[in-house]
Chain A
Amino acid sequence: MYQEIEKLLEKYYEGETTLQEEKYIKEFFSKAEVPTHLQHHIAEFAYYRHAAKETPSKNLNEVLLSKIEKKGRIIQFRTVSLRIAAGLALLIGGFAVGYAYNNRGGEITIIESKPETVMKQSLQFEQVSLKSASERIEAVNQSLKLKALDQDLTQLLINTLNFDDNVNVRLAAAQALARFEDEPLVREGLIQSLKIQTDPNIQITLIELLVMMKEKRASQTLEQLSQDGNVMDVVRMKAQEGAAQLITL
């Protein structure tokens, strides 16, 4: 009658039973009517059934979930703070680069803010051939930043006016010098320059400037110019006109 269960038990102790058979064995020994000669097996299978029912305290799940969520938040927070840190680093880096750049730029500005230096560098005779016309005009225009011209610079501009190869540079020099019309050296320079200039554009500009400055000393030069046969008619007319204006002052 109990041959089946006895056989199963034998298999069980050899590790040969299936899960199904083991379930059957456990079931069998959990019932009240276990034959006497098999009762000593009850405790074993009761123990396994009992042990399988043991569970952690019920709040373990909650604790776990809250820990995981907390962890998630920490990670999130960590990434957020990382992002902020990275942003700050970029910002500071940007400022640092900007600061460094500005400093470097500042040095350039300092050089540029010394128009005298630029002018001398570009307009001195030995430099002229190395610089382009536009660079020389730029250098001449540096004088716009100056409130006064020292003797060196005045001479430099006059030299440029008289000897620069490029008409436009010479014109720029004339205009630059006109700003300092109060300087005797400038006035003298312009008058002397008019005597040697051959380009009609420069001649007319100089005539206009001298008339505007009401430089009476130029009247003689103007008259000479108006009678010079090598000079263009339009320049001669302008010189005559200017001379007349200066004389009537």
Chain B
Amino acid sequence: MDLKVFTQSVLQHQSRLFRVAKLFLKNTEEAEDTVQEIFLKLWDKRQQLGAYNSVEALAVQMTKNLCLDKLKSHDYNYTSTGLETIEVNANTYTPHEQTELADSNDLLKKIIDDLPELQKTILHLRDVEEYSFEEIEQITGQTINNIRVILSRARKSVRDSYLKTNNYVSGN
């Protein structure tokens, strides 16, 4: 596998890997560093990559594992990047609604962060990255039935937590 093929088959997933890394590490720089580490690891084993069904699934799995390792290590003490400007389609919402949505984005981010690891991973892979159940199966090693159960639990949990915090929305 030369650099060109590697770029096409592996580097194109960098945004996804970055989001997965950030999901766990909550820090943009650290997530970027992690993605680079993953790519260098993949580059080192580029000769064996052909043996994998999906290099993308492998990369996501490696990213997730590396992040969890980093979180486990005692000296990991990165603070989250904090509030970020949120792009919302300005044509659809009034400024007030945009602010409200930005607030809800932060809230949802926090709610998802607080989910158990597996729920968080599967919810992110499905609802943000839009992976198929087969792909999620490859990445997490869970059976598809399990994935559906965990996903359902995660989605309900997010919905309920959000409603609970934003009680007024449902009251509207």
Contact B128 A48 (CB under 8 A): yes
Bound complex: CA A14 to CA B150 (Å)? 9
Q: Number of A residues contacting the other chain (C-beta, 8 Å)? A: 39
Bound complex: CA A23 to CA B104 (Å)? 20
Contact B40 A56 (CB under 8 A): no
Contact A46 B105 (CB under 8 A): yes
A73 to chain B, nearest CB (A): 12
From 58 to 111 in chain A, residues with beta carbon under 8 angstroms from any chain B beta carbon are: 60-61, 63-65, 67-69, 71-72
User: B131: nearest residue on chain A (CB-CB)?
Assistant: A19
Contact B172 A64 (CB under 8 A): no
Contact A43 B162 (CB under 8 A): yes
The A/B interface has a contact count, at CB < 8 Å, of 116
Bound complex: CA A36 to CA B169 (Å)? 10
A191 to chain B, nearest CB (A): 90
Contact B18 A54 (CB under 8 A): yes
Contact A56 B31 (CB under 8 A): yes
Bound complex: CA A13 to CA B11 (Å)? 33
* Residue from the list B18, B151, B170 in contact with A40, Cβ < 8 A: B170
From 5 to 50 in chain B, residues with beta carbon under 8 angstroms from any chain A beta carbon are: 6-7, 11, 14-15, 18-19, 22, 28, 31-32, 35-36, 39-40, 43
From 120 to 172 in chain B, residues with beta carbon under 8 angstroms from any chain A beta carbon are: 124, 126-130, 132, 147-152, 155-156, 158-159, 162-163, 166, 169-170, 172
Residue among A61, A64, A67 with max Cβ neighbours from chain B (10 Å):
A64
* Residue from the list A39, A54, A64 in contact with B39, Cβ < 8 A: A64
Asked whether any CB of chain B lies closer than 8 Å to the CB of A47, the reply is yes
Bound complex: CA A12 to CA B152 (Å)? 7
Instruction: Fill in one digit per residue for A30-55: 1 if any B CB lies within 8 Å of its CB, else 0.
Output: 11100010011111101110111111
Bound complex: CA A39 to CA B3 (Å)? 48
A36 to chain B, nearest CB (A): 7
Instruction: Fill in one digit per residue for B86-128: 1 if any A CB lies within 8 Å of its CB, else 0.
Output: 1111001100000001001101110000000000000010111
Asked whether any CB of chain B lies closer than 8 Å to the CB of A22, the reply is yes
Q: What B residues does A53 contact at CB under 8 A?
A: 87
User: B93: nearest residue on chain A (CB-CB)?
Assistant: A32
Bound complex: CA A68 to CA B2 (Å)? 11
Contact A52 B39 (CB under 8 A): no
Q: Tell whether A60 pairs with B32 under 8 Å between CB atoms, given A13-B152, A19-B132, A47-B105.
A: yes
Q: What A residues does B172 contact at CB under 8 A?
A: 36, 39
Asked whether any CB of chain B lies closer than 8 Å to the CB of A15, the reply is yes
B162 to chain A, nearest CB (A): 6
Bound complex: CA A177 to CA B158 (Å)? 118
Bound complex: CA A48 to CA B151 (Å)? 14
Bound complex: CA A54 to CA B28 (Å)? 10
Q: Which 10 A-B pairs have the closest CB atoms?
A: A15-B152, A43-B104, A15-B148, A15-B151, A56-B18, A47-B108, A48-B127, A40-B169, A55-B15, A51-B128
A-B contact pairs, 11 of them (CB 8 A): A14-B152, A22-B130, A40-B169, A40-B170, A44-B162, A52-B19, A54-B18, A60-B18, A68-B43, A69-B3, A72-B3
